[in-house]
Structure 1
Amino acid sequence: MGIAGGTDSSSGEEDGDAEWKAAIDSVAAVDVSSSYGLSKFHATSNNGGSLGVGHSNHEDEKKTKAPGIKLYQIKAQKLLDGLLDKNIEMVTTHIPDNDNHQSDGGLVKLFRKAPPGMRLDPVDQDPGPQKKPKIIPGEDIDEKSKKFRRNIQSVAVNGSDIVAAARLACQSSLARWEARDTAAKAAAKREEERVAELKRIRGEKWLPSVAREMKSDTG
Protein backbone atom coordinates (compact mmCIF):
# COMPACT_ATOMS: atom_id res chain seq x y z
CA MET A 1 0.00 0.00 0.00
CA GLY A 2 2.77 2.37 0.95
CA ILE A 3 4.66 1.57 -2.19
CA ALA A 4 1.58 2.06 -4.30
CA GLY A 5 0.85 5.38 -2.61
CA GLY A 6 4.42 6.50 -3.25
CA THR A 7 4.16 5.60 -6.87
CA ASP A 8 0.84 7.47 -7.15
CA SER A 9 2.31 10.59 -5.57
CA SER A 10 5.37 10.49 -7.81
CA SER A 11 3.20 10.08 -10.89
CA GLY A 12 1.04 13.03 -9.77
CA GLU A 13 4.10 15.22 -9.34
CA GLU A 14 5.29 14.26 -12.82
CA ASP A 15 1.86 15.13 -14.24
CA GLY A 16 1.98 18.52 -12.48
CA ASP A 17 5.45 19.23 -13.83
CA ALA A 18 4.27 18.36 -17.33
CA GLU A 19 1.33 20.74 -17.00
CA TRP A 20 3.61 23.52 -15.78
CA LYS A 21 6.01 22.93 -18.67
CA ALA A 22 3.13 23.04 -21.14
CA ALA A 23 1.89 26.29 -19.62
CA ILE A 24 5.37 27.84 -19.77
CA ASP A 25 5.76 26.77 -23.39
CA SER A 26 2.40 28.28 -24.28
CA VAL A 27 3.31 31.57 -22.59
CA ALA A 28 6.64 31.67 -24.41
CA ALA A 29 4.92 30.99 -27.70
CA VAL A 30 2.59 33.97 -27.24
CA ASP A 31 4.36 37.23 -28.22
CA VAL A 32 3.59 40.50 -29.87
CA SER A 33 4.21 39.21 -33.38
CA SER A 34 1.54 36.48 -33.00
CA SER A 35 -1.35 38.90 -32.54
CA TYR A 36 -2.40 38.67 -36.17
CA GLY A 37 -2.33 34.87 -36.00
CA LEU A 38 -4.51 34.84 -32.89
CA SER A 39 -7.05 37.17 -34.49
CA LYS A 40 -7.17 35.01 -37.61
CA PHE A 41 -7.49 31.90 -35.48
CA HIS A 42 -10.49 33.32 -33.60
CA ALA A 43 -12.08 34.45 -36.85
CA THR A 44 -11.83 30.99 -38.42
CA SER A 45 -13.07 29.27 -35.28
CA ASN A 46 -16.07 31.59 -35.01
CA ASN A 47 -16.91 31.19 -38.70
CA GLY A 48 -17.05 27.39 -38.40
CA GLY A 49 -13.68 26.49 -39.80
CA SER A 50 -12.09 23.08 -40.16
CA LEU A 51 -10.97 22.95 -36.53
CA GLY A 52 -12.89 20.58 -34.32
CA VAL A 53 -14.62 21.18 -31.03
CA GLY A 54 -11.95 19.34 -29.08
CA HIS A 55 -9.15 21.42 -30.60
CA SER A 56 -10.96 24.67 -29.82
CA ASN A 57 -11.57 23.58 -26.25
CA HIS A 58 -7.89 22.72 -25.88
CA GLU A 59 -6.90 26.19 -27.14
CA ASP A 60 -9.43 27.78 -24.78
CA GLU A 61 -7.87 25.94 -21.87
CA LYS A 62 -4.41 27.18 -22.88
CA LYS A 63 -5.80 30.69 -23.20
CA THR A 64 -7.25 30.55 -19.69
CA LYS A 65 -3.96 29.28 -18.30
CA ALA A 66 -1.68 31.67 -20.22
CA PRO A 67 -1.82 35.47 -19.67
CA GLY A 68 -2.69 36.36 -23.29
CA ILE A 69 -2.35 39.75 -25.01
CA LYS A 70 -4.92 42.40 -24.11
CA LEU A 71 -7.23 43.90 -26.70
CA TYR A 72 -5.80 47.41 -26.30
CA GLN A 73 -2.31 46.00 -26.89
CA ILE A 74 -3.43 44.46 -30.17
CA LYS A 75 -5.06 47.73 -31.26
CA ALA A 76 -1.97 49.73 -30.32
CA GLN A 77 0.22 47.31 -32.28
CA LYS A 78 -2.02 47.65 -35.33
CA LEU A 79 -1.84 51.45 -35.11
CA LEU A 80 1.95 51.38 -34.83
CA ASP A 81 2.26 48.99 -37.76
CA GLY A 82 0.04 51.25 -39.85
CA LEU A 83 2.09 54.33 -38.99
CA LEU A 84 5.34 52.57 -39.82
CA ASP A 85 3.99 51.29 -43.13
CA LYS A 86 2.87 54.79 -44.12
CA ASN A 87 5.89 56.79 -42.98
CA ILE A 88 8.84 54.44 -43.49
CA GLU A 89 9.86 53.07 -46.84
CA MET A 90 12.52 50.40 -46.97
CA VAL A 91 14.81 50.90 -49.96
CA THR A 92 18.21 49.60 -50.92
CA THR A 93 20.92 52.22 -51.34
CA HIS A 94 24.36 52.00 -52.82
CA ILE A 95 27.14 53.13 -50.49
CA PRO A 96 29.49 55.40 -52.46
CA ASP A 97 33.18 54.78 -52.37
CA ASN A 98 34.90 57.79 -50.81
CA ASP A 99 38.22 56.88 -52.37
CA ASN A 100 36.87 57.08 -55.91
CA HIS A 101 37.01 60.70 -57.10
CA GLN A 102 36.70 60.01 -60.81
CA SER A 103 32.93 60.60 -60.87
CA ASP A 104 33.08 64.20 -59.67
CA GLY A 105 36.18 65.05 -61.67
CA GLY A 106 38.09 66.29 -58.66
CA LEU A 107 35.61 69.10 -57.93
CA VAL A 108 34.77 70.35 -54.46
CA LYS A 109 31.06 70.01 -53.59
CA LEU A 110 29.34 71.49 -50.56
CA PHE A 111 26.59 68.84 -50.55
CA ARG A 112 26.28 65.41 -52.09
CA LYS A 113 23.60 66.46 -54.60
CA ALA A 114 25.01 69.93 -55.25
CA PRO A 115 26.11 70.99 -58.77
CA PRO A 116 29.79 70.82 -59.65
CA GLY A 117 31.73 73.39 -57.69
CA MET A 118 35.14 74.94 -57.99
CA ARG A 119 38.11 73.03 -59.26
CA LEU A 120 41.32 72.98 -57.29
CA ASP A 121 44.21 73.73 -59.61
CA PRO A 122 47.41 71.85 -58.91
CA VAL A 123 49.91 73.92 -57.00
CA ASP A 124 53.33 74.18 -58.60
CA GLN A 125 55.97 73.28 -56.11
CA ASP A 126 59.00 75.52 -55.93
CA PRO A 127 61.89 73.49 -57.30
CA GLY A 128 64.38 75.69 -55.49
CA PRO A 129 67.75 76.85 -56.74
CA GLN A 130 69.26 74.55 -59.32
CA LYS A 131 72.82 75.78 -58.78
CA LYS A 132 74.73 76.64 -55.69
CA PRO A 133 75.28 80.43 -55.44
CA LYS A 134 78.83 81.54 -55.95
CA ILE A 135 79.94 83.69 -53.02
CA ILE A 136 82.87 85.92 -53.85
CA PRO A 137 85.13 86.49 -50.86
CA GLY A 138 85.42 90.15 -49.86
CA GLU A 139 88.50 92.16 -49.13
CA ASP A 140 90.22 91.92 -45.81
CA ILE A 141 89.42 94.94 -43.65
CA ASP A 142 92.17 96.62 -41.70
CA GLU A 143 90.54 98.37 -38.77
CA LYS A 144 93.62 100.50 -38.15
CA SER A 145 93.76 102.00 -41.65
CA LYS A 146 92.70 105.57 -42.45
CA LYS A 147 90.20 104.40 -45.08
CA PHE A 148 88.34 102.32 -42.55
CA ARG A 149 88.29 105.22 -40.09
CA ARG A 150 86.92 107.60 -42.73
CA ASN A 151 84.19 105.15 -43.63
CA ILE A 152 83.26 104.78 -39.99
CA GLN A 153 83.22 108.54 -39.48
CA SER A 154 81.03 109.05 -42.56
CA VAL A 155 78.29 106.83 -41.20
CA ALA A 156 78.74 107.53 -37.50
CA VAL A 157 76.71 110.20 -35.69
CA ASN A 158 78.41 112.26 -33.00
CA GLY A 159 76.89 115.28 -31.28
CA SER A 160 80.11 117.26 -30.98
CA ASP A 161 80.94 116.68 -34.65
CA ILE A 162 77.49 117.88 -35.67
CA VAL A 163 77.84 121.06 -33.57
CA ALA A 164 81.30 121.76 -35.02
CA ALA A 165 80.04 121.25 -38.58
CA ALA A 166 77.11 123.58 -37.92
CA ARG A 167 79.44 126.23 -36.53
CA LEU A 168 81.66 126.04 -39.60
CA ALA A 169 78.65 126.31 -41.90
CA CYS A 170 77.40 129.34 -39.99
CA GLN A 171 80.77 131.06 -40.20
CA SER A 172 81.09 130.42 -43.92
CA SER A 173 77.58 131.75 -44.62
CA LEU A 174 78.32 134.82 -42.49
CA ALA A 175 81.55 135.44 -44.41
CA ARG A 176 79.70 135.22 -47.73
CA TRP A 177 77.07 137.68 -46.52
CA GLU A 178 79.72 140.13 -45.34
CA ALA A 179 81.51 139.85 -48.68
CA ARG A 180 78.28 140.61 -50.58
CA ASP A 181 77.55 143.57 -48.28
CA THR A 182 81.04 144.95 -48.74
CA ALA A 183 80.78 144.61 -52.53
CA ALA A 184 77.40 146.42 -52.56
CA LYS A 185 78.77 149.27 -50.45
CA ALA A 186 81.82 149.58 -52.69
CA ALA A 187 79.61 149.73 -55.81
CA ALA A 188 77.42 152.45 -54.25
CA LYS A 189 80.50 154.42 -53.29
CA ARG A 190 81.91 154.21 -56.80
CA GLU A 191 78.59 155.41 -58.24
CA GLU A 192 78.58 158.39 -55.92
CA GLU A 193 82.12 159.23 -56.93
CA ARG A 194 81.23 159.03 -60.63
CA VAL A 195 78.21 161.32 -60.20
CA ALA A 196 80.27 163.79 -58.25
CA GLU A 197 82.89 163.80 -60.97
CA LEU A 198 80.23 164.45 -63.66
CA LYS A 199 78.82 167.34 -61.65
CA ARG A 200 82.22 168.85 -61.39
CA ILE A 201 82.93 168.54 -65.11
CA ARG A 202 79.56 169.34 -66.78
CA GLY A 203 77.67 171.21 -64.14
CA GLU A 204 74.34 170.78 -62.41
CA LYS A 205 72.17 171.53 -65.52
CA TRP A 206 73.41 168.56 -67.44
CA LEU A 207 72.18 165.97 -64.97
CA PRO A 208 68.38 166.12 -65.65
CA SER A 209 68.87 165.54 -69.37
CA VAL A 210 70.92 162.40 -68.91
CA ALA A 211 69.32 161.12 -65.72
CA ARG A 212 67.17 158.63 -67.65
CA GLU A 213 70.16 157.19 -69.47
CA MET A 214 72.15 156.95 -66.28
CA LYS A 215 69.27 155.14 -64.60
CA SER A 216 69.00 152.62 -67.43
CA ASP A 217 72.74 152.03 -67.36
CA THR A 218 72.85 151.47 -63.64
CA GLY A 219 69.73 149.29 -63.74
Structure 2
Amino acid sequence: MKALVLLALLIPLSGCELLQKNMNQDPPEVLDLMLSTYCTSPESMATFEEYCELKAWADKLIEASSTAWPERSKLIDSLGDEPKQLLEKVLLSQSEDTPYRNRLRAQNWIEDLQTRTDKAMTQVLDVIIYSQSQQLLELESAITILSEVNGRQAKTIASQEIQLEEKNKEIENQRKQVEQLLDIEASMVNQNRSDNK
Protein backbone atom coordinates (compact mmCIF):
# COMPACT_ATOMS: atom_id res chain seq x y z
CA MET A 1 0.00 0.00 0.00
CA LYS A 2 2.82 2.39 0.93
CA ALA A 3 4.52 1.55 -2.37
CA LEU A 4 1.40 2.60 -4.31
CA VAL A 5 1.17 5.90 -2.43
CA LEU A 6 4.88 6.54 -3.01
CA LEU A 7 4.50 5.69 -6.70
CA ALA A 8 1.47 7.99 -7.00
CA LEU A 9 3.52 10.86 -5.53
CA LEU A 10 6.57 10.24 -7.72
CA ILE A 11 4.72 10.23 -11.05
CA PRO A 12 3.64 13.92 -10.90
CA LEU A 13 7.13 14.90 -9.74
CA SER A 14 8.77 13.13 -12.67
CA GLY A 15 6.32 14.92 -14.98
CA CYS A 16 7.40 18.25 -13.51
CA GLU A 17 11.04 17.31 -14.12
CA LEU A 18 10.31 16.53 -17.78
CA LEU A 19 8.43 19.79 -18.15
CA GLN A 20 11.35 21.70 -16.64
CA LYS A 21 13.77 20.02 -19.09
CA ASN A 22 11.57 20.99 -22.05
CA MET A 23 11.34 24.59 -20.86
CA ASN A 24 15.13 24.88 -20.72
CA GLN A 25 15.50 24.10 -24.44
CA ASP A 26 16.29 27.00 -26.73
CA PRO A 27 13.33 28.22 -28.80
CA PRO A 28 13.61 27.69 -32.56
CA GLU A 29 15.20 30.53 -34.46
CA VAL A 30 12.59 32.97 -35.72
CA LEU A 31 13.57 35.57 -38.24
CA ASP A 32 12.27 39.11 -38.02
CA LEU A 33 10.06 39.43 -41.10
CA MET A 34 10.18 43.20 -40.89
CA LEU A 35 13.90 43.23 -41.65
CA SER A 36 14.95 46.00 -43.95
CA THR A 37 16.39 43.43 -46.36
CA TYR A 38 15.61 39.79 -47.07
CA CYS A 39 18.83 39.18 -48.96
CA THR A 40 21.75 38.52 -46.66
CA SER A 41 24.38 37.61 -49.22
CA PRO A 42 25.75 39.78 -52.04
CA GLU A 43 24.73 37.08 -54.55
CA SER A 44 21.09 37.16 -53.48
CA MET A 45 21.12 40.97 -53.44
CA ALA A 46 22.34 40.92 -57.04
CA THR A 47 19.78 38.25 -57.96
CA PHE A 48 16.67 39.74 -56.37
CA GLU A 49 17.60 43.45 -56.46
CA GLU A 50 14.58 45.52 -55.33
CA TYR A 51 12.75 42.39 -54.10
CA CYS A 52 15.15 42.22 -51.18
CA GLU A 53 12.78 44.69 -49.50
CA LEU A 54 9.15 44.18 -48.53
CA LYS A 55 8.00 47.41 -50.23
CA ALA A 56 8.74 45.95 -53.67
CA TRP A 57 6.68 42.86 -52.80
CA ALA A 58 3.78 45.02 -51.63
CA ASP A 59 3.94 47.19 -54.75
CA LYS A 60 3.88 44.13 -57.04
CA LEU A 61 0.98 42.56 -55.10
CA ILE A 62 -1.00 45.81 -55.33
CA GLU A 63 -0.24 46.04 -59.04
CA ALA A 64 -1.39 42.45 -59.49
CA SER A 65 -4.64 43.04 -57.63
CA SER A 66 -5.52 45.97 -59.90
CA THR A 67 -4.69 44.14 -63.14
CA ALA A 68 -7.05 41.68 -64.82
CA TRP A 69 -5.95 38.05 -65.06
CA PRO A 70 -5.59 37.90 -68.88
CA GLU A 71 -3.16 40.82 -68.80
CA ARG A 72 -1.23 39.35 -65.86
CA SER A 73 -1.12 36.00 -67.63
CA LYS A 74 0.55 37.59 -70.65
CA LEU A 75 3.03 39.33 -68.36
CA ILE A 76 3.78 36.06 -66.55
CA ASP A 77 4.32 34.28 -69.87
CA SER A 78 6.79 36.98 -70.93
CA LEU A 79 8.94 36.48 -67.81
CA GLY A 80 11.77 33.95 -67.71
CA ASP A 81 12.84 31.39 -65.14
CA GLU A 82 15.52 33.37 -63.35
CA PRO A 83 14.91 33.65 -59.57
CA LYS A 84 13.87 37.33 -59.69
CA GLN A 85 11.49 36.66 -62.58
CA LEU A 86 10.09 33.60 -60.79
CA LEU A 87 9.40 35.79 -57.76
CA GLU A 88 7.61 38.32 -60.00
CA LYS A 89 5.55 35.47 -61.51
CA VAL A 90 4.62 34.28 -58.03
CA LEU A 91 3.58 37.76 -56.92
CA LEU A 92 1.55 38.30 -60.11
CA SER A 93 -0.26 34.99 -59.51
CA GLN A 94 -1.62 35.90 -56.08
CA SER A 95 -4.76 37.89 -56.95
CA GLU A 96 -8.13 36.36 -56.25
CA ASP A 97 -9.08 36.10 -59.93
CA THR A 98 -6.10 33.86 -60.72
CA PRO A 99 -7.33 30.46 -61.93
CA TYR A 100 -6.68 27.44 -59.71
CA ARG A 101 -4.20 25.80 -62.08
CA ASN A 102 -2.09 28.96 -62.29
CA ARG A 103 -2.02 29.41 -58.51
CA LEU A 104 -0.95 25.79 -58.19
CA ARG A 105 1.86 26.46 -60.67
CA ALA A 106 2.89 29.48 -58.56
CA GLN A 107 3.17 27.17 -55.54
CA ASN A 108 5.69 25.10 -57.49
CA TRP A 109 7.63 28.26 -58.34
CA ILE A 110 7.73 29.14 -54.65
CA GLU A 111 9.12 25.72 -53.79
CA ASP A 112 11.77 26.21 -56.48
CA LEU A 113 12.59 29.70 -55.17
CA GLN A 114 12.93 28.48 -51.60
CA THR A 115 15.86 26.32 -52.67
CA ARG A 116 17.60 29.36 -54.18
CA THR A 117 17.03 32.07 -51.57
CA ASP A 118 18.41 33.18 -48.23
CA LYS A 119 16.73 31.98 -45.05
CA ALA A 120 14.94 35.29 -44.45
CA MET A 121 13.43 35.38 -47.93
CA THR A 122 12.46 31.71 -47.69
CA GLN A 123 10.55 32.42 -44.50
CA VAL A 124 8.89 35.50 -46.01
CA LEU A 125 7.84 33.46 -49.05
CA ASP A 126 6.35 30.86 -46.73
CA VAL A 127 4.58 33.26 -44.35
CA ILE A 128 3.31 35.88 -46.79
CA ILE A 129 2.48 33.78 -49.84
CA TYR A 130 2.90 30.01 -49.73
CA SER A 131 0.85 29.17 -46.61
CA GLN A 132 -2.13 31.36 -47.51
CA SER A 133 -2.11 30.28 -51.12
CA GLN A 134 -1.92 26.63 -50.08
CA GLN A 135 -4.95 27.07 -47.81
CA LEU A 136 -6.86 28.76 -50.61
CA LEU A 137 -5.99 25.94 -53.02
CA GLU A 138 -7.11 23.34 -50.48
CA LEU A 139 -10.38 25.18 -49.89
CA GLU A 140 -11.00 25.46 -53.62
CA SER A 141 -10.32 21.75 -54.03
CA ALA A 142 -12.75 20.98 -51.22
CA ILE A 143 -15.39 23.27 -52.72
CA THR A 144 -14.94 21.64 -56.14
CA ILE A 145 -15.29 18.17 -54.66
CA LEU A 146 -18.34 19.21 -52.63
CA SER A 147 -19.90 20.80 -55.72
CA GLU A 148 -19.40 17.58 -57.66
CA VAL A 149 -20.86 15.52 -54.81
CA ASN A 150 -23.80 17.91 -54.52
CA GLY A 151 -24.34 17.71 -58.29
CA ARG A 152 -24.39 13.92 -58.19
CA GLN A 153 -26.73 13.95 -55.20
CA ALA A 154 -29.04 16.42 -56.94
CA LYS A 155 -29.20 14.11 -59.98
CA THR A 156 -29.85 11.12 -57.73
CA ILE A 157 -32.58 12.97 -55.85
CA ALA A 158 -34.20 14.11 -59.11
CA SER A 159 -34.09 10.54 -60.41
CA GLN A 160 -35.58 9.22 -57.18
CA GLU A 161 -38.33 11.86 -57.28
CA ILE A 162 -39.24 10.77 -60.82
CA GLN A 163 -39.29 7.11 -59.72
CA LEU A 164 -41.42 8.01 -56.70
CA GLU A 165 -43.84 9.92 -58.90
CA GLU A 166 -44.09 6.94 -61.28
CA LYS A 167 -44.67 4.57 -58.33
CA ASN A 168 -47.38 6.89 -56.98
CA LYS A 169 -49.09 6.86 -60.40
CA GLU A 170 -48.82 3.07 -60.52
CA ILE A 171 -50.30 2.80 -57.00
CA GLU A 172 -53.12 5.18 -57.97
CA ASN A 173 -53.88 3.10 -61.09
CA GLN A 174 -53.91 -0.09 -59.00
CA ARG A 175 -56.20 1.58 -56.44
CA LYS A 176 -58.61 2.56 -59.22
CA GLN A 177 -58.54 -0.99 -60.61
CA VAL A 178 -59.26 -2.40 -57.14
CA GLU A 179 -62.16 0.05 -56.76
CA GLN A 180 -63.53 -1.01 -60.15
CA LEU A 181 -63.26 -4.67 -59.17
CA LEU A 182 -64.97 -3.95 -55.85
CA ASP A 183 -67.72 -2.07 -57.69
CA ILE A 184 -68.17 -5.02 -60.08
CA GLU A 185 -68.26 -7.45 -57.16
CA ALA A 186 -70.74 -5.26 -55.28
CA SER A 187 -73.00 -5.02 -58.32
CA MET A 188 -72.82 -8.81 -58.82
CA VAL A 189 -73.69 -9.39 -55.14
CA ASN A 190 -76.61 -6.96 -55.44
CA GLN A 191 -77.78 -8.67 -58.62
CA ASN A 192 -77.57 -12.10 -56.93
CA ARG A 193 -79.67 -10.83 -54.04
CA SER A 194 -82.27 -9.39 -56.32
CA ASP A 195 -82.40 -12.65 -58.33
CA ASN A 196 -82.86 -14.71 -55.14
CA LYS A 197 -85.84 -12.70 -53.98
TM-score of the pair, normalised by structure 1: 0.23
Q: Which has the larger radius of gyration?
A: 1
Q: Is the helix fraction higher in 1 or 2?
A: 2
Higher RCO by CA contacts (8 Å cutoff, separation 6 or greater): 2
TM-score of the pair, normalised by structure 2: 0.25
